[in-house]
Amino acid sequence: MKRLLLVIFAIACAATAYAVEYANVIVPRPLSCEAIEGSFALTPKTTIRATLPSLVPTGEVFAADLEVVLGNKLVVKKSSAKKGAINLALNSALASEEYTLKITADGVWITGGSERAVFYGLQSLRQIVAASDITAAGTKISAVNIADKPHFAYRGGMLDVCRHIFTVDEVKRYIDILALHKINKFHWHLTEDQGWRIEIKRYPELSEVGAYRNQTLIGRNRKSKLYDGTRYGGVFTQDEVREVVAYASARYIDIIPEIEMPGHAVAALTTYPHLGCTGGPYEVWTRWGISENIFCAGKESTFEFIENVLTEVLELFPYKYIHIGGDEAPRAMWKQCPHCQKRIKDEGLRDEHQLQSYFMERVERWLNERGRSIIGWDEILQGGISKSATVMSWRGTKGGIAAAKLGNDVIMAPNTYCYIDYYQTSDPAANGEPLANGRRPVTLAKNYSLDPYAGLDEHQQKFIKGVQVNLWTEYVSTFDHVQHMLLPRLAALAETGWSYGNKDYADFSRRMHILRKLYDKQGFVYAPYFFNGIE
């Protein structure tokens, strides 16, 4: 009897160890993940049962993603829950991004507070399946009980498509990568000195003039004097933008378009020189950096242009937030411009910093009247900001801290932790990293160590809405390179965004080596450094 008990105990331990090994694999780390005995046999005949019509599209996206992993596509049916199936259901007692995932020998049950939450449960299941031993006949996925919800409401990834442009399919792939990590915001940086990338029907010249530069700098900015002599550019048509918005929406990702003002506007000024203080001529920039040529804040025609552009932007992007830039706007032109100086006088402004506040607040008011809200880079704090603006802290966390202390909402995207255009190892030359930005590297561990609440008391912490990685593309011209910069650092950011308070770098590292298998199966490119033990 004693021996029998021992054998039973040993079998139970082995089963639990198996379950722990295969179930405790999810990135970002779930709130709770309890391994239970047994496993579910996932076969090509397993069906996905959507208990509500609204869950069918969510199941379809999952089935298509999982096909790449399994080699076969599971059928999605609108039906009541069934034993032996993957069952999707809603429960209004759960928060809108909260889900439970239960795997037993009898089936899989994913229940969410919304369709979005069910989608997150499915991403967890996808990771568990990819971590299991997959065979053509079927896959044994270990039993587990997961209860999960994110800490931060805003978990973002930004892509600059201006310094280099990417195809619609590549942008969708970027969104796929965000979705796997339960990121829910895609910040799409669409206008710049080096190229205007969104079709505006009222201003077709933006697509012909502003969208193209004559050539591109080769090598390091300020060091190199070499140019490639090749015209470069392109624009996303409104149909393409709509396609991307729909694609993101099916993956529960809101898109925040960024229309930069008053700086980073040379592409617009080249198209319409009267929008600048001097009247030009201007040339779409062929190198990187900060241009002194910015929108004139004195001329009414500037605001007319911006409002007309935003009118079309609002029709394309349904999400409440619009990013209106605000960073790196030198005051030199405004200081010399009679229109800008007259505006300062007429409006009773103290200086050019307040002129920028006038600019941003005027555009914000226009957007507020249309039911939208703004996000701006932390420079918008300089001359004072309205209560309703959300600050994206990029020059470290100090701007975000100051904004939270003022009672403004904040997204933490400090360059010191979240700029994934920066090098990713401590010795880029020795490790063979491609040319990148940043004096100090943002290693995976550095990114992981971000504490978005640091320096804030409990009340002020409430204003920190979330975190974001930013990928500027001065030195990133191919989509493989985009992914090399994005992965695996996006995973670290996702864990701060989703699992804040439940982070553990050693355990994250263990799970990343497992998630890598899914990256491989999906054909996602990732930087090798961390996986090779280099940071």
- Site of interaction with ligand ACM (CB under 6 A): 327-328, 377, 394
Indicate the residue among 307 and 327 with the shorter CB distance to ligand ACM.
327
Fill in the amino acid letter for 133.
D
Smallest gap from Cβ 486 to ligand ACM, in A, equals 16
Fill in the amino acid letter for 59.
G
Question: What would the two tokens of residue 245 be?
Answer: 């918005």
Q: Per DSSP, which regions of 346-434 are E strands? A: 373-377, 390-393, 410-412
> Is the Cα dihedral 511, 514, 518, 519 positive or negative?
positive
Name which of Zn ion, ligand ACM, none residue 161 binds, using a CB cut-off of 5 to 8 Å depending on partner kind: none
Name which of Zn ion, ligand ACM, none residue 60 binds, using a CB cut-off of 5 to 8 Å depending on partner kind: none
3-state DSSP call for residue 237?
A: coil
Fill in the amino acid letter for 17.
A
Indicate the residue among 351 and 480 with the shorter CB distance to Zn ion.
351
Indicate the residue among 295 and 377 with the shorter CB distance to ligand ACM.
377
Of all residues in this chain, which one has the CB nearest to ligand ACM in the complex? 327
Smallest gap from Cβ 377 to ligand ACM, in A, equals 5
Name which of ligand ACM, Zn ion, none residue 298 binds, using a CB cut-off of 5 to 8 Å depending on partner kind: Zn ion
Per CB under 5 A, the list member of 28, 298, 452, 466 interacting with Zn ion is 298
Indicate the residue among 182 and 264 with the shorter CB distance to Zn ion.
264
Name which of Zn ion, ligand ACM, none residue 82 binds, using a CB cut-off of 5 to 8 Å depending on partner kind: none
Residues 6+ apart with CB under 8 A from 101: 108, 109, 110, 121, 124, 125, 144, 145, 146, 148
Alpha carbon 452 to its chain centroid, in Å, reads 16
Of 408, 241, 264, 393, the residue nearest 319 (C-alpha) = 241
Name which of ligand ACM, Zn ion, none residue 322 binds, using a CB cut-off of 5 to 8 Å depending on partner kind: none
List b or e across 248-281, with b for residues whose CB sees 16 or more CB atoms inside 10 angstroms: beebbbbbbbbbbbbbbbbbbbbbbeebbbeeee
Segment near Zn ion (CB under 5 A), from 171-179, 234-242, 336-344, 526-534? Answer: 336-344
Indicate the residue among 143 and 471 with the shorter CB distance to ligand ACM.
471
Question: What would the two tokens of residue 140 be?
Answer: 């044994």
**158 close to 473: Cβ distance less than 8 angstroms:** no
Name which of ligand ACM, Zn ion, none residue 327 binds, using a CB cut-off of 5 to 8 Å depending on partner kind: ligand ACM
Per CB under 5 A, the list member of 294, 340, 344, 385 interacting with Zn ion is 340
3-state DSSP call for residue 3?
A: helix
> Is the Cα dihedral 95, 397, 28, 319 positive or negative?
positive
Smallest gap from Cβ 195 to Zn ion, in A, equals 23
Indicate the residue among 37 and 327 with the shorter CB distance to ligand ACM.
327
Question: What would the two tokens of residue 208 be?
Answer: 């012909």
Smallest gap from Cβ 327 to ligand ACM, in A, equals 4
Smallest gap from Cβ 261 to Zn ion, in A, equals 13
Name which of Zn ion, ligand ACM, none residue 394 binds, using a CB cut-off of 5 to 8 Å depending on partner kind: ligand ACM
- Whole-angstrom CA distances from 269 to 1, 209, 280 are 86, 10, 8
Smallest gap from Cβ 378 to ligand ACM, in A, equals 8
Site string for Zn ion, 261-290 (x = CB under 5 A): ----------------x-------------
Residues 6+ apart with CB under 8 A from 250: 57, 61
Q: Per DSSP, which regions of 123-231 are E strands? A: 139-148, 154-160, 185-189, 212-213
Nearest-Å Rg of the Cα atoms of the chain is 25
Indicate the residue among 277 and 442 with the shorter CB distance to Zn ion.
277
Smallest gap from Cβ 312 to ligand ACM, in A, equals 24
Smallest gap from Cβ 303 to Zn ion, in A, equals 12
Smallest gap from Cβ 113 to ligand ACM, in A, equals 34
Per CB under 5 A, the list member of 296, 322, 349, 487 interacting with Zn ion is 296
Point out which residues bind Zn ion (CB under 5 A): 277, 296, 298, 337, 339-340
